[in-house]
């Protein structure tokens, strides 16, 4: 049967696929609109297979949260070009992916048809890269933050034994500020106790080799004990969240900042329970 321009336009409006692809799908399915949509979805997988060798380091990180803000989730979806990342279809899919993660669903399973259609629309190697979901455990607050238009995404959970403090605006603001800290300074761990000894040993080896090259030899073992301790502590101030300089006030560490928030909330201790940081393509 002959495929009309009107049929092609209807399929294009329904799928946002190209005119040529729509005509091909309708021709292959005898003009059956439903089967043509299915054809385009299946073709989307073929597009991905052909472009599997293409790097997908562009994209978006999206945040979704429950109405009571006790559950939050991040999702990262990658594509090949920044142009595609800015399209309405890609932005919507990424937002839907974050919502699926929020609900505890497997993104690939929950959005399988939408994913196939997105491949057809974009013609790029789109990847559902990763997601992270936080649900409040105990008394405290969860906060989420998207930086640089979706280039960086952060989740953090602060814990306190005081229910009044947990419900306060001060703690919510503190959680938001800690999100900004994590986005800006990219810590790897919450506190020094979390750092694997093997990582510290590897860092000390690098530093000591550099010192030996600079001085010609290492100091005596007695002095070396203190030097190693100092090097390890300095390293922890770089990679441990609570030991970092607080971005909003360089005279404070994050630890000291939270102590100040604690005093304003009645003195109950505030701790960083966990955090997640996603950086696009990293």
Angstrom distances, CA of residue 116 to CA of 126, 179, 251, 265: 10, 34, 51, 50
Report whether 56 contacts 118 (CB < 8 A). Answer: no
For residue range 60-79, list pLDDT tens digits in order. 999 999 999 999 999 999 99
In order along its 282 residues, the chain shows pLDDT tens digits of: 789 999 999 988 888 788 888 999 999 999 999 999 989 888 886 777 777 777 889 999 999 999 999 999 999 999 999 999 999 999 999 999 999 999 999 999 999 999 999 998 888 999 999 999 999 999 999 999 999 999 999 999 999 999 999 999 999 999 999 999 999 999 999 999 999 999 999 999 998 988 888 878 888 888 888 999 999 999 999 999 999 999 999 999 999 999 999 999 989 999 999 999 999 988
CA dist 195 and 66 (Å) reads 32
**What domains lie within the chain, and their CATH numbers?**
5-50 (1.10.8.10), 53-135 (3.30.479.20), 196-239 (no CATH)
- The DSSP code sequence of 70-98 is SEEEEEEEEES-HHHHTSHHHHHHHHHHH
Class of residue 175 by CB neighbours under 10 A (exposed 0-12, middle 13-18, buried 19+) = buried
Distances (CA, A) of 4 to 97, 120, 156: 35, 21, 54
Predicted TM-score (pTM) of this structure: 0.85
């Amino acid at each position: 049967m002959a495929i009309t321009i009107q049929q092609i336009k209807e399929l294009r409006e329904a799928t946002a696929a190209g005119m040529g692809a729509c005509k091909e799908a309708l021709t292959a399915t005898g003009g059956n609109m439903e089967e043509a949509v299915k054809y385009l979805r299946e073709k989307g997988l073929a597009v991905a297979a052909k472009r599997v060798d293409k790097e997908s380091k562009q994209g978006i990180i999206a945040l979704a949260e429950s109405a009571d803000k006790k559950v939050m989730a991040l999702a990262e979806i990658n594509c090949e070009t920044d142009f595609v990342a800015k399209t309405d279809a890609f932005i919507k899919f990424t937002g839907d992916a974050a919502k699926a993660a929020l609900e505890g669903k497997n993104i690939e399973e929950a959005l399988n048809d939408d994913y196939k259609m997105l491949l057809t629309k974009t013609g790029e190697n789109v990847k559902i890269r990763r997601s992270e979901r936080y649900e409040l455990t105990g008394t405290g607050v969860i906060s989420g933050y998207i930086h640089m238009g979706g280039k960086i995404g952060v989740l953090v959970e602060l814990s306190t034994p005081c229910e009044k403090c947990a419900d306060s605006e001060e703690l919510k603001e503190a959680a938001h500020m800690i999100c900004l800290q994590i986005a800006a300074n990219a810590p790897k761990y919450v506190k020094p106790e979390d750092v694997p000894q093997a990582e510290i040993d590897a860092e000390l080896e690098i530093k000591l080799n550099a010192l030996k090259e600079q001085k010609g030899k290492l100091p005596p073992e007695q002095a070396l004990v203190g030097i190693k301790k100092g090097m390890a502590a300095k390293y922890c101030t770089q990679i441990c969240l609570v030991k970092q300089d607080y971005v909003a006030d360089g005279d404070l560490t994050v630890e000291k900042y939270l102590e100040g928030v604690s005093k304003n909330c009645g003195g109950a201790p505030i701790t960083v329970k966990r955090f997640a940081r996603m950086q696009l393509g990293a």
